Structure formats: C-alpha cells, structure tokens
Amino acid sequence: MLELRHLRTLAALQETGSVSRAAKRIHLTQSALSHQIKALQDHYGLAIIRPRGQTVELTDAGRHLVALAGKVLEEIQATERNLAKMSERVSGSLRIALECHTCFDWLMPLMDAFRRNWADVELDLVPGFHSDPVKLLEEGGADVVIGSQSQQRRGIVHHPLFRFEILAVLAPDHPLRGKRLLRAADFADVTLITYPVPEDRIDLILNVLKPAGIHPHRRTAELTVAILQLVASRRGIAALPSWGIKNYVDHDYVIARRIGTHGLWSNLYASTLAETASRPYLRDFLATARNTCFATLDGVIPLEEKQTG
C-alpha cells in the first residue's frame, strides 16, 4: 500500500533523475529505492520507471505519482509549519551571515519564502563577510552562518547543506581551453580572480596551489558577475561553484574545467549555536534550504549528517 516514503522517493527521483542519486538524496541505499519502486509497480500493475540508457526515466504513471508527491509533501510541510508555530511562541530572529559570496544566488528566493511563512521572525542578512563565523555566532552578531569551513567547537552545531564542485572558469578562447582538466601547475602564470577575501578562505589556493608551492597573481571583484566579466575579458581565471556558473557556461560566455583528477570539492554548512538549532523556524529554514538547493542547483550532492570539514 502507498505510504509517504514512496512519495518522498518519487520526489527525489524526479529531482535527481536517477535511482542512486535519489537514494543519496534521501539517505537510503539504491537497493531500498529499487525495492520500493518495484513494490509500487507490482501494486498498481503499471511501470513507474523505464530504463533509459544507463539510468531511468519516469513513465506516464510515474509522472502522475510524482505530481501527487509534490502536492502532498508540500501540504504536509505547510501543516507541520503550523504545528511548529503552535508548539511554542515563535518570535525570534534569523540573522544570516554569509561566508560564501556565491550563496546569494540561491539565498534570496529562499529568504522570500521564509518571510512569507514566518512573518513573526525577524529575518535579516548580516552585511559584510566575516573572518571568524564562530565568534560571530557566540557574540550574537548572527544566528546562522553559511560557510564552507566548519571549525568544531563546543556549543556550535554545523548543519550540513550540500557538497559541490568548484570549477575553473576560463574565457572560451583561453590558451588552456584544450585541457580537459587543470592541475596546480597550470595556474603558475595566470591571474587568479577571486572575491576579496584572505587567501586561507579560498579553497583553490588553500588545498591545491599552496601545497604545490604556486602563488599566482590575484585580482579581486565583489560580485560573481564582475568576476565572470573579467574572466570573459581574458583578464584571468576564476574558481567558482559549478552551480554558480552554469548559466554562463550554458550560454558559452565562459568555459569550465575540472581542477585535479577528482575535482576540487567543497562542503557547505549552516552553523548555529546549539540552542538555536532546536528552534522550529530554524529547522524549517534548513529543510527548505536543502530542498530548494537540491531542486534548483546543478551537480549538488547530499552530505552526511556526521561528516565533518
């Protein structure tokens, strides 16, 4: 018989387009989902997915169920929000600080949605980019810090958001365009265009270039579009999250290359004080943040709860 777990599976399947990715997405094994789907298919006497090359695609019946899943899961989230509001007086603040410039892209629509759902919570974006997020939390300067580096400390909880790949961004006619992937040595003679943050906050430098003893010339820009503008104008190379540049790559404005054999990956966390972590509106914020990120951002991978750094 149909249960919500089936609907959650179907929703994840739609979002990810593959059984194994969907399994990662909802923290189950590929086998579990495969069994679930088989059970549904046997129950209804209809195919829900159909092999499509190496992966699968939804059938007509599958799309019906996916549509149902969307509606139902949304309704459930809405009433669970209402219950959360009933369970305690929710007036509080959610001041968000960013460690990662690119996150603006997905944060803005998320904040809009949040404001609609939690009118009584004071929502704010802490201006500037801060060198010590943990300190910021402890001193009460912010309620959440969204960042890529999580230094463990008592009383601080790092909620995993997702794992993403950082790609090198080049002008379409850049001399290095022929390479399928870039290695540390390729950065020796280029200008690296980055956000205006210290070197130890830039993954490419910290994890790839510095260990190889390479110190390229740096140039900074505040906004992602400005960086891409400079890249396209052949002023240098940038390293940005894959989802942040997808649109520009798709339109051949720039090209993207993997960094190192397995790529340069980074994890994104939302960090809060332990006491903040239990607040219903914070939990809802995190849940919808993950949802919208997985739904809208490309090449984003779930992160285990226990995983660190």
68 is a site residue for a second copy (CB under 8 A):
yes
Segment interacting with a second copy, rule: CB under 8 A, options 1-9, 109-117, 126-134, 221-229: 1-9
Alpha-carbon distance of 108 to 292, in angstroms, equals 11
Where is 306: in which H helix or E strand?
none
Strand duo 55-58 + 49-52: pairing: antiparallel
Strand, helix or coil for residue 254: coil
Alpha-carbon distance of 244 to 25, in angstroms, equals 20
Q: Which is nearer to a second copy, 120 or 200 (CB)?
A: 120
Of the residues 7, 12, 14, 21, which one makes contact with DNA according to CB under 7 A: 21
- Cα atoms found within 13 Å of the Cα of residue 238, Cβ hemisphere only: 31
Using CB under 7 A as the binding criterion, the count of chain residues that bind DNA stands at 24
Shortest distance (Å) from residue 178 CB to a second copy? 51
Segment interacting with DNA, rule: CB under 7 A, options 45-53, 126-134, 204-212, 272-280: 45-53
233 is a site residue for a second copy (CB under 8 A):
no
Strand duo 93-98 + 122-129: pairing: parallel
286 is a site residue for a second copy (CB under 8 A):
no
Strand, helix or coil for residue 11: helix
Helices (H) and strands (E) in the chain, counts: 11, 12
Shortest distance (Å) from residue 13 CB to DNA? 8
Shortest distance (Å) from residue 219 CB to a second copy? 50
307 is a site residue for DNA (CB under 7 A):
no
Chain positions contacting a second copy, by CB under 8 A: 1-5, 44-46, 60-61, 64-65, 67-68, 71-72, 75-76, 79-80, 82-84, 86-87
